Amino acid sequence: MKVCRDKGVAVATSEEALGRDGIRRVDAESKELTDRVFEALGRDDVTRVIWHLFYWYYLRRACLSAAILDSALTEDVYAATLLGGDELLAGVLDEVCRGGGVRLVAPGTSTPSFTRSLRIFKVGAGPRIPLNEGLARRLKLASSLPRSVGRSRRAEPTDCLILTTLPSERATWRPVVDGMPGGVRVGLATTYPVKPSELHPAVRRYDLDGWVRPKRLGEWIGAYRSYWRIGPELPQILPRLPWRGLDLGGYTRGWLASVVRQLFWRLIPRAAAVEELLETVKPGILVCLTERNELVNLAIRMAADRGIRTLAIESHDMIWDSPLFGRVEADRLAVSGTYSEDIYAKNGVPREKMVVTGQPSFDRLARYREKEPAEKEADERLLVVITQPPDVALTEDTRREMLRGAFLAGREIPRLRVLVKPHPRDNLGDLRLILSELGAPRDALLPKKIDLYALLASSDVILTAFSTVGVEAIMLGRPVVVFKTGDETPVLPYVDSEAVLRVKEAEQIAERIKRIIEGEVVHELARGREEYVARHECAADGDSAARVVRLILEMLNGEGRAGI
């Protein structure tokens, strides 16, 4: 964005072009279109597995981009260029441009008309694949095949099997596993490496890639061959998909024909492994994390078909008011608070399915609240800036201004030390360059790997744009200043809550920090934090994992609710 503005090219984010209400409208319309697509498709297992994928990463993005472009065409626009993106997005934008008499250039993307005819009429049944070790090699699983037989023989019946698909879920499953009573046999099924030191010796870990057997894999491939033939049928199944005067049907049909094949090629090996594992260890309950994940959706369905109880734990990420959060098929959903419960209910999850337990990943915060802050020099104050990489929600200019304001405050306020905590996805080279240009001390930039909670607990003020770390700071009782330049409704609700102070301009940051340091707003912020936590994270007492464990035990013994 900075490069475009430096070259005199106008830049508009979705917030600037549509406003928060406009984005909500697109969200609702995209959800309705997604529902219509899968109702027409009439294939329930496909709907369960890829609804979230299709809605969030493809159709919503295409509609949002089209709405932004359409708003821009009210100006004197002669040509539009799409840098990156898929052919669904290119096709929709091409329709918008042609309607406005504007030419679309999409380098690296096939022309929409060619893509449409290719994907609708030329998608066949796929190549004939031999069901043997050669296939496994093609799927990059050959090295794990010899181990699968031995592991199956050593497998033991399991009371509770936990399925984790993302390394970031460690913070959620670790306290749950550690809290299980000794008499409960626990297994952990993973799609990523877990060190033996991370688990109690009594907990069995099952690497899903080591549970793929050629015979089972062949059965799954056979079962999904019908989906590979979905292309020729789609013009009759989904003839039209009208949206704001456009027909998205052709592009949607093309996307579905391609993604169903590609997605199931990716999912089939691990789905076959999950099935093998379920039938071998015969768990009493399957516990899944990040309920929107495609493999998690398949696993929940497979478990239900075998009479295995299922529990989904709310995603460790932030929840906001979006159709993305819904369609949970598990018997129970453990949520972090009444705010999350209301969002899931709004999007179709029955309230009787949900249990408010709190988020286990936040339990360790309670331990830091009980600790004394790390020693600092006399009268020294510590401002910690939490950064995020520039993306659609945070521009490079906004991040730079926030950092500029932080170091202005560091020069204006005596004995205020400013430290910058980078995001895991931040480019450290870019950050070092920005900090150097701002005249920051060389030791101001912290390493990515650092004890975040210890850092927050020792800080006097936290400055961020809308990072989830802001919530953790609130739960630790630390004052938070939010750098928010616009008046739009934020995605994350804490940004506009009474738990924080807001600032619009870099020059105002010092004034907000002074008010905190001098004690002017201490009581108001404390009251705001208490109200926020009560509604959004109402289990900030360190016992969330214990409540999830209690729910698991009650489900193992029959129906029950173990929430707050």
Q: What is the pLDDT of residue 551?
A: 96
Q: What is the pLDDT of residue 510?
A: 94
Q: Which of 281-285, 308-312, 378-382 has the lowest mean pLDDT?
A: 378-382
Q: Give residue-wise pLDDT tens across range 50-78.
A: 788 888 878 888 888 888 888 877 666 66
Mean pLDDT across 85-99: 76
Q: Give residue-wise pLDDT tens across range 299-330.
A: 998 899 999 999 999 876 677 788 878 778 89
**119 against 359, higher pLDDT:** 359
Q: Where in the chain is the domain with CATH 3.40.50.2000?
A: 153-233+260-363+542-556, 367-536
Q: How far apart are CA 391 and CA 376, in angstroms?
A: 35
Written as one letter, the residue type at 555 is: M
pTM for this structure?
Answer: 0.76
Rounded to an integer, what is the distance from CA 445 to the centroid of its chain?
26
Q: Which of 19-28, 137-146, 236-245, 545-554 has the lowest mean pLDDT?
A: 137-146
Q: Is 204 helix (H, G, I), strand (E, B) or coil?
A: strand
Q: What is the pLDDT of residue 413?
A: 93
Q: What is the pLDDT of residue 251?
A: 77
């909500």: which residue's tokens? 24
Q: What is the pLDDT of residue 153?
A: 43
Does the domain at 367-536 match CATH 3.40.50.1100? Answer given as no
Q: How far apart are CA 564 and CA 556, in angstroms?
A: 19
Most confident range, picked from 80-89, 92-101, 170-179: 170-179
**413 against 6, higher pLDDT:** 413
Q: Which of 162-176, 257-271, 443-457 has the lowest mean pLDDT?
A: 257-271
Q: What is the mean pLDDT of the chain?
A: 79
Find out whether 401 and 483 touch, Cβ atoms under 8 Å: yes
Q: What is the pLDDT of residue 10?
A: 62
**431 against 378, higher pLDDT:** 431
Question: 289: which strand partners?
Answer: 313
Find out whether 394 and 388 touch, Cβ atoms under 8 Å: yes
* CATH of the domain spanning 153-233+260-363+542-556: 3.40.50.2000
Question: 188: which strand partners?
Answer: 162, 205
Q: At what angle do helices 396-412 and 428-437 cross, to 10 degrees?
A: 50
**DSSP codes of every residue in 360-377:** GGGHHHHHHHHSPPPP--
Q: What is the pLDDT of residue 19?
A: 76
Task: Kindly state the percentage of the chain with pLDDT values over 90.
Answer: 28
Find out whether 381 and 458 touch, Cβ atoms under 8 Å: no
Q: How far apart are CA 544 and CA 87, in angstroms?
A: 44
DSSP-derived letter for residue 445 is B
Q: What is the pLDDT of residue 115?
A: 37
